[in-house]
């Protein structure tokens, strides 16, 4: 199937600031794109496209002038239409066998205090059979213990806060699940992307970018989602990192007041041949 993806994000800037935007489809999905996937910056300004450090996420950086700033895009991407793959036989990989670049996903990071869970995680999940079923047990536990509520979002909330407060948004669910996995010596990374309401009831809340996580089992990364907790159709990866601090949609080095935010991720139905156009 074909998905139409897009966003329209607007700010008001009191003074010129440098901006890094991580809004492109992940390079691993580049071959599936059916139309250009470029960030449109208004007012027009010179931009530099690059791959940020070893995470391999596509970013764009630029200097924005004071006044209104609009970042927008609309593109098309092919998707198999299949739900997230499941492999109940996937085994955990012993730490000594992990690739060097996977080890970092066992460590503490800004929002994932693995050391704080060194006793909690084994107490909750240490007696379970290792492998896929243990990661799924982590998802089941977080899904059942944490309540979703937009009103309880805050940029400083970490995994230990979520564990204590038992309420948050999708990034909070994933941070807690990632941290529990790491405390069990299962590499886990936080990811962001598009996840439209395809094959599920349409959400009454406005569309947003989504967060989920990936666990490293049987020498590859697998998708898990502690918030929705069931395989979904039409996930499109944008960026992966240790936690939300590595994959921020936009990072502004100065004040940027958000004035408008819209995201779309819809299936293009048969007979709809319209080309992608900017949101707004």
171 or 48, higher pLDDT? 171
The mean-pLDDT minimum among 1-10, 75-84, 148-157, 175-184 falls in 148-157
Q: What does the pLDDT read at residue 168?
A: 96
The CA angle 138-143-145, to the nearest 5 degrees, is 95
> According to CATH, where is 2.60.40.2250 located in the chain?
2-80+248-267
52 or 74, higher pLDDT? 74
Please give the structure tokens belonging to residue 211.
């967060």
Residues of the chain with pLDDT > 70, as a percent, come to 95
- By C-alpha distance, which of 182, 119, 176 is closest to 148? 176
Give the mean model confidence (pLDDT) for residues 27-48. Answer: 94
Distance CA 240, CA 217 (A): 17
Q: What does the pLDDT read at residue 271?
A: 63
> According to CATH, where is 3.10.620.30 located in the chain?
95-246
pLDDT in tens, 203-230: 888 889 999 999 999 999 999 999 999 9
Give the mean model confidence (pLDDT) for residues 105-125. Answer: 97
Q: What does the pLDDT read at residue 60?
A: 93
pLDDT in tens, 225-280: 999 999 999 999 999 999 999 999 999 999 999 999 999 999 998 766 555 544 44
Mean pLDDT of the chain: 94
Strand ranges of the sheet holding 40-42, from the earlier edge strand across to the other edge: 40-42, 67-78, 2-13, 257-267
Examine the pLDDT at 4 and tell me if it is beyond 90.
yes
Q: What does the pLDDT read at residue 277?
A: 47
In the chain, where does DSSP find H-type helix? Answer: 120-125, 132-145, 159-165, 170-183
CATH number of 95-246: 3.10.620.30
Ranges of beta strands (E only) in 195-280 are: 210-217, 220-224, 236-241, 250-252, 257-267
The CA angle 118-248-75, to the nearest 5 degrees, is 130
Please give the structure tokens belonging to residue 244.
């939300």
The mean-pLDDT minimum among 50-59, 89-98, 160-169, 243-252 falls in 50-59
CB 69 within 8 A of CB 41: yes
Q: What does the pLDDT read at residue 54?
A: 74
Distance CA 192, CA 30 (A): 16
Tell which CATH architecture fits domain 2-80+248-267. Sandwich (2.60)
Q: What does the pLDDT read at residue 17?
A: 96
């Amino acid at each position: 199937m074909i998905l139409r993806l897009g966003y329209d994000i607007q700010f008001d800037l009191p003074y010129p600031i440098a901006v890094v935007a991580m809004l492109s489809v992940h390079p691993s999905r580049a071959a599936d794109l059916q139309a250009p996937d470029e960030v449109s910056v208004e007012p027009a300004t010179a931009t530099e496209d690059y791959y940020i450090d070893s995470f391999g996420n596509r970013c764009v950086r630029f200097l924005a002038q004071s006044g209104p700033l609009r970042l927008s895009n609309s593109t098309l991407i092919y998707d198999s239409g299949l739900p997230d793959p499941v492999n109940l036989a996937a085994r955990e990989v012993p730490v000594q066998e992990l690739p060097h670049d996977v080890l970092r996903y066992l460590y503490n990071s800004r929002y994932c205090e693995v050391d704080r869970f060194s006793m909690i995680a084994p107490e909750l999940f240490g007696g379970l059979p290792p492998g896929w079923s243990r990661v799924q047990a982590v998802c089941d536990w977080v899904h059942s213990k944490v309540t979703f509520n937009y009103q309880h979002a805050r940029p400083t909330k970490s995994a230990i806060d979520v564990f204590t407060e038992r309420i948050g948004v999708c990034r909070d669910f994933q941070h807690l699940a990632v941290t529990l996995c790491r405390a069990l010596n299962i590499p886990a990374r936080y990811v962001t992307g598009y996840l439209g309401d395809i094959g599920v009831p349409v959400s009454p809340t406005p569309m947003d970018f989504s967060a989920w996580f990936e666990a490293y089992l049987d020498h590859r990364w697998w998708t898990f989602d502690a918030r929705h907790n069931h395989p979904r159709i039409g996930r499109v990866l944008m960026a992966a990192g240790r936690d939300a601090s590595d994959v921020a949609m936009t990072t502004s080095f100065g004040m940027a007041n958000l004035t408008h935010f819209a995201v779309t991720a819809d299936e293009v139905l048969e007979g709809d041949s319209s080309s992608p156009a900017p949101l707004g």
